[in-house]
Structure 1
Amino acid sequence: MKISIIKPGLLSTIQDTGRYRYLSQAVPVSGAMDELAHRLANKAVGNDDDNATIEFTYADASFKAETPVLISYSGDGACLVYNNELMPAEKPLFFPTGSVIKLIHNAIGMRTYLAIAGGWDVPDIMESKSTYLTAAFGGFKGRALQKADVLVGGSLLSEVSNGILNHLIEKSLTYPNWRISRESLLPENRQAIRVVLANEINWFDATSIISFLTNSFTIDRRSNRMGYHLLGKSLVRKVKKELLSTAVTPGIIQVTGSGDLVILMADCQTTGGYPRIAHVAAVDLPLCAQLKPGDTIHFSEISRDEAEALYLEREHDLSLITMAIGLKYIKT
């Protein structure tokens, strides 16, 4: 299976679930900003969760099927359109050779993930196919996708992928009547970001802590895959000592020297010297990934136990989705 890029859009890169074994060597995790959407796109075509997808930022992109392709997409940054027909998300879509598919703007979010049966075939760099643009490695030639790039799907399809393909293969567009309900895996209020208070919370005075948990913050236009800068009331430190550089991960919320907040994201550094006031619960990182400059959020405190329970509950739901798709397409 193969596609060619007609229009790459603002920023389109190959991503998977990231590289975690090289943090001690200062190599960031990278990977999909919205891991939930990435995983659901893969599940819809019978892939493993870690298979590579294309992460499109916003829309205004298009590609051509150079062969028959089995694809799916998920995320809030764009909608797929074929022959002026809106394509449903979170379900397998079979397109014949020559099909031209466009990504049009979706005002809800920022990022969309395109999966192909077998995953996108790019080299593993440090045990991951994810693109890390700052160091120009991983993904497709270590860079963002460009016009005329040709991307190939992996040749080894899973049993589920083969089952889906055999059910859908036609001379024209076709797709099944089922879809994965991504909405059921997300909270109803997407502006409320749940956080666990972090190591240096006591470095801030009571007024600042209350402000952090009650006031709203706006995503600044400086935000990117490394981190989101937040506009809002600055926090005041009561502890004036400096923090030695220590480990940080995606989801950590740091407070800069001027009292401003930064949410670290997929391409964040592996160590940092700013105080850590909180950590975004893992289940809400996909919400952060879809935030755009100008969006407003507020933080809601939960305990570590609650954050863990929410994570395990979602993982259980995701495993049931995988099982259900497998039972439908694997011959017994």
Structure 2
Amino acid sequence: MRIRIIKPGILSTIQDLGRKHYLSQAVPVSGAMDTLSARVANIAIGNPDHAAVIEFTYADAEFMTETDMLMAYAGDGATLQAGDIIIPPEKPVFIPAYTSIQLINNPAGSRTYLSVAGGWDIPEVLGSRSTFITAEIGGFNGRSLHAGDTLASTETFTPITATIFDRLKGETITYPAWSVARRMFLPADTKHIRIVPAHEFSWFHGLALVNFLSLPYTLSMNSNRMGYHLDGEPVTRIIKNELLSTAVTPGTIQVTGNGSLVLLMADCQTTGGYPRIAHVAAIDLPLCGQLKPGDTIYFEDISHQDAEMLYIEREQELQQLREAIQHKYL
């Protein structure tokens, strides 16, 4: 299975769930900004969760299928369309060869993930196919996708993927009645981001902490895959000690010298010298991956135990989803 990029859009890269075993060597995690959408796109066609996907940032992109394809997409950045046909998200879709597919902007979010049967055939670098553009490693030659690039699938299908493909293939765009319903895995209020206190939480004034947990913060234009700068009430410190560079990961919220907040994201550095006020609960980090400049969010504190239980519950629900699809087709 193969596609050719006609128009790459603002930023389109190959991503998976990231390279998590090289933080001690200062290699960022990278990977999908919205890991839930990336996983849903893969699960819908029977791929392993970690199979490589294309992460499209916003829309204004287009590609051509050069062979018959089985694919799926998920995320809030775009709607896929072939001519007058709107391709539904979060379900397996058969696309005939030589079909032109456009990504039409969806104002609800910023990123969309495209999976293909077998996953995109990209070499692993340090255990991941994810693109880290700054170091030019991973992905498609260590860079974003360009017009004219050709991408192929691995052709190594799971039994579920092979069965879905056999049932859907034909002369026209075809898909089943069912879909994954990604919204079931998201909280009802997607603008309240749950956080747990971090190591330097007690370094800040009580009123500053109250404001941090009650006032809105807006994503600034100065934001990217490395981190989001948040505009809002400054968070003032009691303890003025200098902090030696210490460990940070995607989801860490740092407070800069002037009291502004930086939410670290997928391509963030592995150490930092700013105090860490909080860390986004793993279950809500995918929500952050869909934020765009101008979006306003609130922070809500929960315990480490609650964050862990919410994560475990979602993993169990995703496993039930996999089993339901397997039961349907095998």
> What is aligned with 2:323?
323
> What is aligned with 1:100?
100
Q: How far is 1:46 from its partner?
A: 0.6
- Structure 2: how far apart are the matches of 1:285 and 1:108? 16
Q: Superposition pairs for residues 71-110 of structure 1, below 5 Å?
A: 71-110=71-110
Runs of 4+ deviating beyond 4 Å: none
- Structure 1: how far apart are the matches of 2:289 and 2:328? 31
- Structure 1: how far apart are the matches of 2:69 and 2:88? 16
Q: Does 1:292 align with 2:292?
A: yes
Q: 1:311-332 CA deviation, whole Å, 9 max, x = no partner?
A: 01100110001011111112xx
- What amino acid does structure 1 have at the position aligned with 2:224? N
- What amino acid does structure 1 have at the position aligned with 2:5? I
Q: How far is 1:82 from its partner?
A: 1.1
Q: 1:46-97 CA deviation, whole Å, 9 max, x = no partner?
A: 1000000000000000100100000000000000001212111000010111
> What is aligned with 1:251?
251
The unaligned stretches of length 5 or more in structure 1 are none
- Structure 2: how far apart are the matches of 1:211 and 1:146? 44
Number of residue pairs aligned between Structure 1 and Structure 2: 330
Q: How far is 1:103 from its partner?
A: 0.3
Q: Superposition pairs for residues 1-332 of structure 1, below 5 Å?
A: 1-330=1-330
- Structure 1: how far apart are the matches of 2:86 and 2:150? 24
TM-score in terms of structure 1 length: 0.99
- Structure 2: how far apart are the matches of 1:179 and 1:295? 28
- Structure 2: how far apart are the matches of 1:176 and 1:189? 29
The unaligned stretches of length 5 or more in structure 2 are none
- Structure 2: how far apart are the matches of 1:328 and 1:117? 18
Q: 1:109-168 CA deviation, whole Å, 9 max, x = no partner?
A: 000000000000010000100000000110001000000100000121110100100110
- What amino acid does structure 2 have at the position aligned with 1:139? G
- Structure 1: how far apart are the matches of 2:47 and 2:306? 30
- What amino acid does structure 2 have at the position aligned with 1:26? A
- What amino acid does structure 2 have at the position aligned with 1:270? T
- What amino acid does structure 1 have at the position aligned with 2:124? D
- What amino acid does structure 2 have at the position aligned with 1:152? A
- Structure 1: how far apart are the matches of 2:182 and 2:232? 31
- Structure 1: how far apart are the matches of 2:242 and 2:160? 53
- What amino acid does structure 2 have at the position aligned with 1:196? V
- Structure 1: how far apart are the matches of 2:233 and 2:304? 26
- Structure 1: how far apart are the matches of 2:97 and 2:35? 29
Q: 1:13-43 CA deviation, whole Å, 9 max, x = no partner?
A: 0000000111000000000000000000000
- What amino acid does structure 1 have at the position aligned with 2:244? L
- What amino acid does structure 1 have at the position aligned with 2:138? G
Q: How far is 1:303 from its partner?
A: 0.4
- Secondary structure of the 1:308 match is helix
- Structure 2: how far apart are the matches of 1:150 and 1:34? 24
Q: 1:253-272 CA deviation, whole Å, 9 max, x = no partner?
A: 00001100010000000001
- Secondary structure of the 2:137 match is coil
Q: 1:201-240 CA deviation, whole Å, 9 max, x = no partner?
A: 1100101111100110000001100001000011111101
- Structure 1: how far apart are the matches of 2:31 and 2:252? 16
- What amino acid does structure 1 have at the position aligned with 2:66? E
Q: In angstroms, what is the RMSD of aligned CA positions?
A: 0.5
- Secondary structure of the 2:174 match is coil
- Structure 2: how far apart are the matches of 1:309 and 1:24? 27
Identity, % of aligned pairs?
A: 56
